[in-house]
């Protein structure tokens, strides 16, 4: 069995910097044409100038012959200058701006505490048609970690949606049925779904011993939510597309008394997704999810090149870890063998 797809894009990716960037970049450029590059470096990518420099560091590490294009983003802070954002967008340097509620996830300390303080930037973005990527979780300590996405929709996203109907919003890494339902029924709003949230639920994380390599934010929810995500991804609804949120941390940083959040899935994402879509009898919807609906929402053409996915008799081999100059990074383990092989056409 073989299918041919337009080369996929990753609409939510962490490439990091330095030795880590160098070590993990080929894992993405092998299969993907473009990716939205998350700006949560230390210090974050805040200004157009920061993005220019970060883009140059990524380009310098591209494997030979790769025509991968990093789509840069700015990290929204309460000090962000709307004019700097507009300039970076106009020159084609950036594709989106990322909103992290302060303290919501890895390296989000410089994020937004009160959305009122960034309204001038958001208004400018709505005016010029620049999309906003949102980490949709409240940080209120009184809200349970499993409810933080649903509460964010109610407290922050829905009011913002009403206030700026022209702002293009991408609710990133949706993990709940609440998120799926909200996005399905809201204009000018789309969502990315990760590979791992289509595969694991919170039992994978917690039953039979704690599994740090399944810990990410937003945290995996109960099975009924996972099923809602699979249904959205495999439906062909153009509001839902792939953003792996592949987020490398070294093994010592994950396997720790206070382990970092992030799942690294760049290496085997396409094999995992073919498995999920085949199981849902929806292989014919895979290309829309990985290669068509994302560019359509961002107003970009699909990639010109193709890949093939071939189902083998024997499991495909992929490394358990990627060795980087920073240390080893464990690759996402879907907990079942993968039979779909990816080839470049």
Helix pair angle (223-233, 269-279), 10° resolution: 90
Cα 311–chain centre separation = 26
Q: Which residues are catalytic?
A: 245
Question: How many CB atoms lie under 10 A from the CB of residue 143?
Answer: 16
- Our finding on whether 291 is near ligand NCD (CB under 6 A) is no
Exactly one of 50, 245, 287, 333 binds ligand NCD (CB under 6 A); that residue is 245
216 binds ligand NCD (CB under 6 A): yes
- Site mask, ligand NCD, residues 252-281, x = CB under 6 A? ---------xx-------------------
Question: Which CB sits closer to Zn ion, 35 or 309?
Answer: 35
Kindly determine how many residues on this chain lie close enough to bind Zn ion according to the rule CB under 5 A: 1
Q: How many residues does the chain have?
A: 345
Q: Give 1 or 42: the residue with its C-beta nearer to ligand NCD.
A: 42
Binding letters toward Zn ion, positions 90-129, x by CB under 5 A: ----------------------------------------
Q: Write the binding mask 18 to 57 for ligand NCD: x where contact by CB under 6 A, - elsewhere.
A: ----------------------x-----------------
H or E element at residue 29? helix 18-29
For 182-245, the DSSP string reads HHHTSTTEEEEE-TGGGT--HHHHHTTS--GGG--SSPP--HHHHHHHHHHHTT--TTEEE---
10 binds, among ligand NCD, Zn ion, none (CB under 5 to 8 A by kind): none
Neighbours of 162 (CB within 10 A): 9
175 binds ligand NCD (CB under 6 A): no
Contact flag: residue 106 with ligand NCD (CB under 6 A): yes
With CB under 5 to 8 Å by kind, the binding choice for 6 among ligand NCD, Zn ion, none is none
Q: Is 293 left (phi over 0), alpha (psi -120 to 50) or beta?
A: alpha
Burial class (CB in 10 A: 0-12, 13-18, 19+), 305: exposed
Q: How many CA atoms lie within 13 A of 305 on its CB side?
A: 16
Which positions lie near ligand NCD, rule CB under 6 A? 14, 40, 105-106, 135, 216-217, 245, 247, 261-262
- Footprint on this chain of Zn ion (rule: CB under 5 A): 245
């Amino acid at each position: 069995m073989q299918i041919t797809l337009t080369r996929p894009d990753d609409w939510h990716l962490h490439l990091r910097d330095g030795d880590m960037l160098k070590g993990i970049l080929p894992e993405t450029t092998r299969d993907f044409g473009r990716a939205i590059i998350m700006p949560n470096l230390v210090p974050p990518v805040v200004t157009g100038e920061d993005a220019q420099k970060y883009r140059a560091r990524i380009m310098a590490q591209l494997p030979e012959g790769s025509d991968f294009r990093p789509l840069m983003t700015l990290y929204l802070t309460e000090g962000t200058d709307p004019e700097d954002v507009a300039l970076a967008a106009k020159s084609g340097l950036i594709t989106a701006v990322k909103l992290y509620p302060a303290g919501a996830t890895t390296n989000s300390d410089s994020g937004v505490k009160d959305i009122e303080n960034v309204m001038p930037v958001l208004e400018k973005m709505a005016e010029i048609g620049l999309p906003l990527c949102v980490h949709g979780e409240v940080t209120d300590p009184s809200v349970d970690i499993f409810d933080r996405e649903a509460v964010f929709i109610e407290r922050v996203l829905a009011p913002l949606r009403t206030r700026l109907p022209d702002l293009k919003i991408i609710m990133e890494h949706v993990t709940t049925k609440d998120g799926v339902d909200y996005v399905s029924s809201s204009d000018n709003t789309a969502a990315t779904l990760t590979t791992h949230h289509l595969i694991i639920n919170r039992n994978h994380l917690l039953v039979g011993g704690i599994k740090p390599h399944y810990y990410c934010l937003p945290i995996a929810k109960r099975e009924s939510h996972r099923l809602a995500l699979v249904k959205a991804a495999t439906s062909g609804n153009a509001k839902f597309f792939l953003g792996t949120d592949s987020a490398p941390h070294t093994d010592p940083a994950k396997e720790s008394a206070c382990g970092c959040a992030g799942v690294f899935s760049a290496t085997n994402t396409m094999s995992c997704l073919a498995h999920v879509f085949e199981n849902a009898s929806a292989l014919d919807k895979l290309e829309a999810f990985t290669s068509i609906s994302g560019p359509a929402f961002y107003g970009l053409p699909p990639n010109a090149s193709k890949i093939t996915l071939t189902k083998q008799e024997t499991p495909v081999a992929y490394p358990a870890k990627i060795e980087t100059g920073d240390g080893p990074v464990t690759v996402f383990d879907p907990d079942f063998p993968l039979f779909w092989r990816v080839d470049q056409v």
